Structure 1
């Protein structure tokens, strides 16, 4: 069963019906959707790319992350639209949100929070339906939890200027996760193939919220 917060806009309910999603309306304390079946509970928070950027800059996203992860073992943040487009349009420097995004990715609370981006809102509704179907069939573990985490870690690393997907993968192969990369010294970072002093410095500064040169 999917529970939908009663404060969601009318268009969300129309899309749910169009997608053939069965749902009930209730007031949710945390998240916009709650997928429930027997002992499984998965929360979903949906945000436009614009709101995601705003909440990253003003710090609201960290409070929301805490609420989701402290209450549910698995949650998703559905980001709808292009974050890059918002940054370019508003002339916001990417560095202004990179540090916050990486910090969010490595936060360790009780549960896992997985951000996923979608081009449009209807695709996010279909993803919600997919999660519900997996829970109903007892196949929640089939959902690529580890892969989603790896994809997000790669996305966070490639947000650092000059760190493409190949360099990001090498960093993860060497250190295992973002937390260890964040704690690595400049010398340790430089030992990774393809990461010279320039890129090592960018990575080092990004994880410490410093200006990236």
Structure 2
């Protein structure tokens, strides 16, 4: 039977019930990173509302960096109707699209599901695929040197931010999250800061989706 590892915080959720119903064994374990491990995939599960909140408060990019440090293939599962949640929260679509593009450039996948049931089936399917390919489960750990490299790569993926600037920002603020929270003070031209603002916050007065303006 294919095996899935579920973080202790997720073990009593409906998702675990549906993973079992889909035919996979679930093992509870306290994970340093992510919510589920299935084969070579590391899944972080977020409701649509939580995904939007993580964009607004800047947590998303710090979490993406941590997921990448695992050495596995990270995937963020967005559960529920993302665009309906965005309308309810009055968050502009550009902020969401920009964030999705940014984490995709970092190498983090995105998987949309409608419900905990579909999430559970998707995770079990990943475990089954890995079993057919004879890929065992490996528990991820953060490596300090890899983490710093990924943090720099993430910051430098933002508009107008090069490697040297990313290194300076990381040195000054200590983490990508703190750097992003203070992005208005970055030593960049106003035009670059405006593009970064569009990626992180979106512009409510802009009704057109012009992705080319982000990067």
2:26 to 23, 37, 40: 23
Q: Which residue of 1 aligns with 2:109?
A: 114
Q: Which residue of 2 aligns with 1:151?
A: none
Q: Which residue of 2 aligns with 1:11?
A: 14
Instruction: Kindly report structure 1 stretches of 4+ aligned residues shifted beyond 3 Å.
Output: none
Aligned counterparts of 2:32 and 2:119: Cα–Cα separation in 1 = 21
Would you say the 8 A contact 2:98–2:214 is kept in 1?
yes
Change (3 A) 1:113 1:99: closer
1:139 positional shift: 7.0
- Where do 1:62-77 residues align within 5 Å? 62-77=61-76
Aligned counterparts of 2:19 and 2:212: Cα–Cα separation in 1 = 44
Aligned counterparts of 2:94 and 2:105: Cα–Cα separation in 1 = 17
Would you say the 8 A contact 2:48–2:85 is kept in 1?
yes
Q: Report whether the alignment pairs 1:205 with 2:213.
A: yes
Q: Which residue of 1 aligns with 2:50?
A: 51
Would you say the 8 A contact 1:3–1:33 is kept in 2?
yes
Give the TM-score normalised by the residue count of structure 1: 0.59
Gaps of 5+ in 2: 136-207
Aligned counterparts of 2:117 and 2:73: Cα–Cα separation in 1 = 22
Would you say the 8 A contact 2:22–2:120 is kept in 1?
yes
- Where do 1:25-104 residues align within 5 Å? 25-36=28-39, 41-104=40-103
Change (3 A) 1:12 1:202: closer
Would you say the 8 A contact 1:45–1:78 is kept in 2?
yes
1:48-91 deviations in Å (ceiling 9; x for gaps): 01101111121111111111112123121111111100111222
Aligned counterparts of 2:125 and 2:134: Cα–Cα separation in 1 = 11
Q: Which residue of 2 aligns with 1:124?
A: 119
Aligned length: 140
RCO higher in 1 or 2 (8 Å CA, sep ≥ 6)?
2
SS in 2 for 1:92: coil
